[in-house]
Structures are given as C-alpha cells and as structure tokens.
Amino acid sequence: MAVVLTTARAFATCEAAKKVLNDAGHEIRIITPDKPLKAEELIPLVKDVDAVIAGLDFITPDVINAAPKLKIIARNGVGYDRVDVTTAKKNNIEVTITPGTNSLSVCELAFSFITGLARKIHVMDTSVCAGSWKRENGIELNGKTIAIFGTGAIGRNLAIRCTAFGMKVLAYDLYQNEELKEKYGVKYYDSMTPLFESADFISLHLPATEQTRNMINKESISKMKKGVYIINTARGDLINNDDLYEALTSGYIGGVGLDAFTEEPFTDSRFFNHKNVILTPHTGAFTQDAIVKTLVMAAQDVVRVLDGNKPLHSVSQ
C-alpha cells in the first residue's frame, strides 16, 4: 500500500477518483487548501508520501528533495510551470498532466468572458440589483476579430466557437493547427504583433515561459486597437498588471476578463468593482464534468506508476 497525498481542492468530493486509488489499495491523504500551497507548507506534508495529486501548488526543488519516497507528481490539469520538472527527473520522479480533460470547460469560460464583456452583462446586473434600469450599449460579435494566442485544446475549441459566431479568428502558436486553417479559416501569424494590431478581442491560452511572461505590457498594449477586450484564462504571469490597469483607467482597453492571476487569491483592489472588469477565482476548469475527468485521469496515472508501469501522460520523459 502506497500513500497518495492530494492537494487538488476538488478531490475530496470526487468519488470516482477516490475509487481508482482505493481499488488499487492505496492510502489517500486529502488536503483541501483554500489557495495553492507554497513550498514551506508542502514540505512537512510530503515527507513519507509515494505520490502527489497536485493542484496549482508550488512544487520546488526543496519540496521534491523533502520526499524521498515520491514516485509521481500528477498535476490536476495541463499546466506544470509550478513543478520543478528538472529536479523531479533527477530524482526519478514522474510528472504527469491531464490533457484534454478540462479544455471545454476553460474554453467555455473564455467565451463567456467574450460575450459578457461585449454586452456588459455584469454592469447591467449590478444596475438592476441596485434598483436602476440603465441599459448599456454593447457590441455584436459578428464581424469582429479575435486573436487567440495558443491553439492547443482550449484555444482550438475557442476558435471553433468564435467562427460559429461570425468572428474572424487570428492565431499565434509555435505549432499551427491545419484543421483550424483549412476547415475554419483561422489565419496564423509567426509574430504576435499583427494580432495585437488587428484584434477587437484577445484571448490568452499560452503557458508562462521566459518568452511569454508579461507579454501584455505597455509596449504590446500600445500596438492594440483602442477599446480592445483582453481575456486571460491561462496564467497570470502573461500580463503586467500595472500596465493593464493604466490602460484600463485611461479607457484605452475596453475591458478585461481574468481567471488567472500572478498571486492567488487575487488582492489587487484596483481591479475590484471596475465596470470594465470581470474577475473569477481561477475557475476555468471547475465544472462537474471536467473535475471528474481530470481527477480520474490523474489518479489512473498514479496507479500506473505505483504499479511499476509508465504513465500515459508524462512530461518528464
């Protein structure tokens, strides 16, 4: 029997994922933090565990080195920039992700931001609840241009939905999707600049890397159309918050929808109650459907590794 630590907040209520581990005879230790755990919080929890099913926790070299029995870190999602994969490899620890399980959920939240900002639904909801009856002039999506940065599973699904609404879709990705080009008319560019210059909406679906961190900054904003809407359901590090706020308050940016932040919970009160801002608590993948698919896939790879087999969704090979 191995010990599996789970820090993904939804695991406590996911009976299907629990069953995968229980049927394999493993002990489950469930932690339900209200925010991603930092290294100093994780270290005392991992000392005798064989596997971790992790949320957005910071799994640093110190955490990994504090867990001599650890064989697998299974990320509950597709992003793994908070896991030190290099140290994991050195310690013969597998790092896995759950590709495709929550892509529709995140895509649909991004599209909800697009429609919500376009029609200023959040502003009118507040108005009606306050006893007012003020209408807001919105815009139609038909004929508008959206720039999608990253056309993996999430960005691909978003592109398909945007074309169905009559939007022109521009895309940036190191790996171009031939189906999107041929079937849906998506136009790819090798540079980000044409997308910044042409877009009415920008939606971010890239990992946080040395090349993408702070990609939304004063310089890139200066290339954008006045009134552009920016949606981020990927990583908070993609946006420079100071530059974004400055452009919002000046009215240069028309509005933003944010589900990912540099610090979580998000405490930058400058963005609170701003009529052109919609904020959600990193909830893109948080649907009943996605939770079950994601946690079951993570648990299945844990069982494979603890049985001495290779995982199906490793990023550390």
For residue range 114-165, list pLDDT tens digits in order. 999 999 999 999 999 999 999 999 999 999 999 999 999 999 999 999 999 9
List the catalytic residues: 235, 264, 282
- In terms of domains, do 96 and 107 share one? no
Q: What is the pTM of this model?
A: 0.85
Q: What is the pLDDT of residue 52?
A: 98
Asked, for residue 316, whether it belongs to a domain, the answer is no
- In terms of domains, do 168 and 73 share one? no
- In terms of domains, do 116 and 253 share one? yes
What is the chain's Cα-based Rg? Answer: 21
Nearest one of 145, 173, 150, 169 to 159, comparing CA atoms: 169
Asked, for residue 315, whether it belongs to a domain, the answer is no
Q: What is the pLDDT of residue 254?
A: 98
User: How many CB atoms are located within 10 Å of the residue 134 CB?
Assistant: 10
**How much of the chain exceeds pLDDT 70, in percent?**
100
Asked, for residue 238, whether it belongs to a domain, the answer is yes
- In terms of domains, do 9 and 54 share one? yes
Range of the domain at 266: 103-279
- In terms of domains, do 94 and 116 share one? no
- In terms of domains, do 65 and 161 share one? no
- In terms of domains, do 135 and 116 share one? yes
- In terms of domains, do 291 and 197 share one? no
Please give the Cα distance from 311 to 305 (Å, whole number). 6
Q: What is the pLDDT of residue 34?
A: 87
Write out pLDDT tens, residues 299-313.
Answer: 999 999 999 999 999
- In terms of domains, do 89 and 107 share one? no
Q: What is the pLDDT of residue 273?
A: 87
- In terms of domains, do 126 and 259 share one? yes
Most distant CA pair in the chain, distance: 63
Asked, for residue 118, whether it belongs to a domain, the answer is yes
Report residue 50: phi and psi, to 5°: -95, -20
> The domain spanning residue 271 has which CATH number?
3.40.50.720
Please give the Cα distance from 64 to 43 (Å, whole number). 8
Q: What is the pLDDT of residue 317?
A: 64
Full pLDDT tens readout for the chain, 317 residues: 899 999 998 999 999 999 999 999 999 999 999 889 999 999 999 999 999 999 999 999 999 999 999 999 999 988 898 999 999 999 999 999 999 999 999 999 999 999 999 999 999 999 999 999 999 999 999 999 999 999 999 999 999 999 999 999 999 999 999 999 999 999 999 999 999 999 999 999 999 999 999 999 999 999 999 999 999 999 999 999 999 999 999 999 999 999 999 998 999 999 998 999 999 999 998 999 999 999 999 999 999 999 999 999 999 76
- In terms of domains, do 129 and 22 share one? no
Asked, for residue 314, whether it belongs to a domain, the answer is no
- In terms of domains, do 166 and 261 share one? yes
- Distance set, CA 223 to CA 25, 85, 185, 206 (Å): 57, 35, 24, 20
Q: What is the pLDDT of residue 190?
A: 97
What is the count of structural domains for the chain? 2
